[in-house]
Amino acid sequence: MVEVEAEESVYTYTLYDGDPDSSGGCELGEVDQELVADSLEEAVEEVEELLSLEAAGLSREQGYEAGDRLYALVWDHQGCVTAKVIHVLTDEDLG
């Protein structure tokens, strides 16, 4: 049996504090950040974690409320959007 190693791919992502497909989304932090992952699923998991970390740094004083959504778009190496990740803010996120 021959084992085939998964090839790592470079993905690009940007986090938003609203839906980037509408006029309500502004970038959070640096745009077009790169990450290396063995698969799209792994890239999405990493971006989900990054969204959770970003959410933990937000507050009501900044105008966020429980139920607001953070988004991330993930692009593949060809520049095609391959995933849209959503994190719904909770009371716990907002401290």
Q: Please say if the pLDDT value at position 2 is more than 90.
A: no
- Predicted confidence at residue 5, as pLDDT, reads 59
The answer for residues whose C-beta is within 8 angstroms of residue 44's C-beta and 6 or more apart is 74, 83, 85
- Predicted confidence at residue 6, as pLDDT, reads 60
Q: What angle do CA 58, 87, 20 make, to 5 degrees?
A: 90
Residue 1 corresponds to which amino acid?
Answer: M
Q: Please say if the pLDDT value at position 21 is more than 90.
A: no
Alpha-carbon gap, residue 66 to 88, rounded angstroms:
8
Predicted structure pTM score: 0.86
The whole-chain average pLDDT of the chain stands at 91
Per-residue pLDDT of 24-70, as tens digits, reads 789 988 889 999 999 999 999 999 999 999 999 999 999 999 999 99
**Contact assessment for residue 38 and residue 68, using Cβ atoms and an 8 Å cutoff:** no
Q: Please say if the pLDDT value at position 4 is more than 60.
A: no
Closest of 61, 49, 62 to residue 17, by C-alpha:
62
